[in-house]
Amino acid sequence: MMRSRFDEQLATLNNELTQMGAMCEEAIAAASKALAMGDVKLTEKVLSLDEEINRMERMIETLCLKLLLQQQPVAGDLRQISAALKMITDMERIGTQAADIAEIITFLDGRTGEECGYIRFMAEAASQMVTESIDAFVKQDALLADTAIERDDEVDRLFLQVKASLIQLIAENPKDGGYALDLLMIAKYFERIGDHAVNIAEWVLFSMTGVHKGETG
């Protein structure tokens, strides 16, 4: 009886994590769209999602602590719960970084990021990493977690292309220096979102194997 109750709560934990991950994806998508369209109104949606993500982090943290204190988790359960606690920290940071991107967009005076198309590709790749890492946790799919980790190279490569493109933009239009720096900061936040997705994927692998990638070697 106790075990079936515990399994129900673990299923709830998975559902809440999936929902929090979906909100992170939505925040990234809204920030990307706001940048592509130069739409400041869309940034309000990102800020509101960030608040909701923060609320979910507190709720999931409480659920994890209840599972640890009220039940008798075996080793595999402990790994899953401790991984979830680590993952929500990274998801909260993803929400914050999407909000940081939204804030910068409000300073662009209606200009879009289309003068540096690589940013859009960065946003898509980073969002894909977040999706894959959360799905990997729910499905307990090591291959999907590895795919998310490997995709980080693509995000890093795109960041270098963004930098090169913006250096060229400044060379051709020195008066656009401020705009280029704003776009560079936005690209940096997308890169960080990718890094957090890698962290999530690594915790997924830990929940399955008991070994954290950062500790091997």
CATH label of the domain that carries residue 15? 1.20.58.220
Dihedral of alpha carbons 67, 68, 73, 78, sign: positive
Mean pLDDT value of segment 21-38: 92
The confidence score (pLDDT) of residue 155 equals: 96
How are the residues of the chain apportioned to helix, strand and coil, as percentages rounded to the nearest 5? 90, 0, 10
Is it the case that residue 151 has pLDDT exceeding 90? yes
**Is the pLDDT confidence value at 40 over 60?**
yes
Give 217's pLDDT tier (boundaries 50, 70, 90): very low
Question: What pLDDT is stored for residue 2 in this prediction?
Answer: 63
Return the pLDDT at 79.
87
**What is the residue range of 127's domain?**
2-215
Give pLDDT tens digits for 42-83.
999 999 999 999 999 999 999 999 888 876 777 778 888 999
pLDDT higher than 50, residue 144: yes
**Residue 186 near residue 123, CB atoms below 8 Å:** no
pLDDT range class, residue 8, cuts 50, 70, 90: confident
DSSP, res 214: G
pLDDT digits (tens, 9 = 90+) for 168-181: 999 999 999 999 99
> How confident is residue 1, by pLDDT bands cut at 50, 70 and 90?
low
As given in the structure block, the two tokens for residue 217 are 């070697």
Number of compact structural domains in the chain: 1
For the chain, give the percent of residues with pLDDT over 90.
Answer: 70
Cβ neighbours for 159, distance < 8 A, ≥ 6 positions apart: 122, 187, 188, 190, 191
Q: Which of 58, 92, 73, 69 lies closest to 199 in space, CA to CA?
A: 92
pLDDT band, very low/low/confident/very high, at 9 (cuts 50, 70, 90): confident
Q: How far apart are CA 185 and CA 175, in angstroms?
A: 18
Q: What tokens appear for 9 in the block?
A: 């709560």
- Is the pLDDT at 214 greater than 70, yes or no? no
The average pLDDT across 179-184 equals: 94
Query: Whole-number mean pLDDT of the chain?
Result: 91
**Angle at which helices 40-70 and 75-105 pack, to 10 degrees?**
160
Q: Look up the pTM and report it.
A: 0.92
Report the alpha-carbon distance of residue 164 to residue 78 in Å, rounded.
45
